[in-house]
Amino acid sequence: MESLAIDLSQLATPQYKGSVQNLYHRDDHTMICETTASGSVFDVGSIFQIAGSDLSRAAFRHYIFTTLHNPQAWQSVAQQLEEDFSERQKFLSFINPPRADGLNLLQRFQQEGARTHHLGMIDRQTGQVYQNGFPPQISPFVLVEKFTVLRPQPVNYRFSHFWDYSPYKDQASHVVPLENIVRLGLTSGSSIYQKFLHMDEGKRRKVLKEMGVEELPLWRFLPVPIADFTSKYEPEDRALSYQEALLISGLDGEQFLDLIRMTLLGTLLVRGVFREMGLTLWDIKWELAKKNNQLLFVDTIDTDSLRVTCTVQDEDQEMFVHFNKQAIRDYYKIMTSDWFEAVKASKAEAAQHGVTFHEILEQGQKSGKYPHTPEIDSRFLKIQEQKFAVLLAYVQERVQPGDSAAARLERAEAVRSIAREEVQYYQQAGAIHSFLALNSLRR
């Protein structure tokens, strides 16, 4: 891409104003994404703000996408595969298969890097677009390639509500209508684990068979990473079987398998990034697009789209402190449980009537049936601000030469200190037992 500068002062009203980012259409081929400091949980919308999170999340997004472009980073992924999964030959054969017609995905990434829609971060002052490295004045603005978004059309029959995805088959380029989730292990907040708890024995066996495991161990790693899918453009994220995910994706069978391979490989790349901070990645959500029969990584990768933890140990247990949006979800569950239960009840009622749960929740709050949306304790927000600050410092340091072992140790200790502070918050609030019920494992 040729040198490009964009006058940010000329940005008008965003064409799309979301709960965590705004989109500005620049021309027919590109758009500007603005990460905001707002936060959303349980699909309720923007209900809190964390100072500094906009710059941190935008910087992390920029760092990950530029790393995806980097062939050298994929060489490290290939090494990870051999070191961590040498005894899982079936998994290795799938993710790194021999190809008679040329290079497989991993081999191509090692030569060319992966394709993405990311074009660079925009300097806040000069408007210069930086494809690699960070601008002198980092900003929450990035430039990306624009893709067609098709939305499935609702179909209603009697009391049933379903969706028509047939137009996807005729499109050469479009965002794949799937949330692509890769799980390295299971946390208490994993949606698949929560659903598993409420299944009968027959459904549990079916899930375990499809995942290729004998059990779902909480706070332990799976033998190999697994791919999981939910719908992207329906009112609620709906769990999908592999068969249904393929049918609605607009891809053929081999493209669908490559989509799985890309998300698995990308997950290992991101896992390596967090390992250098002393953090553990558990799961991550990817979005991909098809362009002229080739797949690209799109949307965003930041702490809203993954679960990553720091382990705090005491004499007889391990405590897992989230450095991602799950920390906020858990806060609402623990400290404002009446509101959390109201959200759950609204979703259950909405599913029966084919309307959005926002309408039901809002009506219930107006009538006094449900509590109003609570504010987060400022002390807890300060801890979250520290998490974003340490993440921002890390990605900025990583693009500078001379990242020493001493610097890495110092970062890891800073991460542990923040994690201990969050545990202490729940202790002082008298809610440590509720926190441990969600985020601990006895040895």
Over the stretch 102-141, which tens digit does the pLDDT of each residue have?
A: 899 999 999 999 999 999 999 999 999 999 999 999 999 9
Q: How many C-beta atoms lie closer than 10 Å to residue 130's C-beta?
A: 19
Distance linking the first and last C-alpha atoms of the chain: 53
pLDDT greater than 60 at residue 329: yes
Q: Return the pLDDT at 418.
A: 98
Q: Return the pLDDT at 172.
A: 86
Q: Closest by alpha carbon to 414, among 435, 383, 376, 374?
A: 383
Of 293-297, 322-326, 409-413, the range with the lowest mean pLDDT is 409-413
Domain boundaries, the chain: 8-70+113-336+374-442
pLDDT greater than 90 at residue 318: yes
Q: How confident is the model at residue 3 (pLDDT cuts 50, 70, 90)?
A: confident
Q: Return the pLDDT at 145.
A: 96
Q: Return the pLDDT at 399.
A: 63
Question: Which tokens sit at 356?
Answer: 């959005």
pLDDT greater than 90 at residue 398: no
Q: Which residue has the higher pLDDT, 3 or 9?
A: 9
Q: Closest by alpha carbon to 69, among 133, 129, 114, 130?
A: 114
Q: How confident is the model at residue 230 (pLDDT cuts 50, 70, 90)?
A: very high
Answer whether 282's CB lies under 8 Å from 187's CB: yes
Determine whether domain 8-70+113-336+374-442 maps to CATH 3.30.470.20: yes
Q: How confident is the model at residue 74 (pLDDT cuts 50, 70, 90)?
A: very high
The most confident of 157-171, 193-207, 423-437, by mean pLDDT: 423-437
| pLDDT tens-digit readout, 400-409 | 555 667 777 7
Phi, psi (degrees; rounded to nearest 5) at 294: -115, 150
Q: Is 101 exposed, middle or buried (0-12, 13-18, 19+ CB in 10 A)?
A: exposed
Answer whether 237's CB lies under 8 Å from 200's CB: no
Question: Which tokens sit at 385?
Answer: 């601000």
**Average pLDDT, rounded, for the chain:** 92
Percent of the chain with pLDDT over 90: 74
What gap in Å lies between CA 323 and CA 318, rounded to an integer? 16
Q: Return the pLDDT at 324.
A: 96
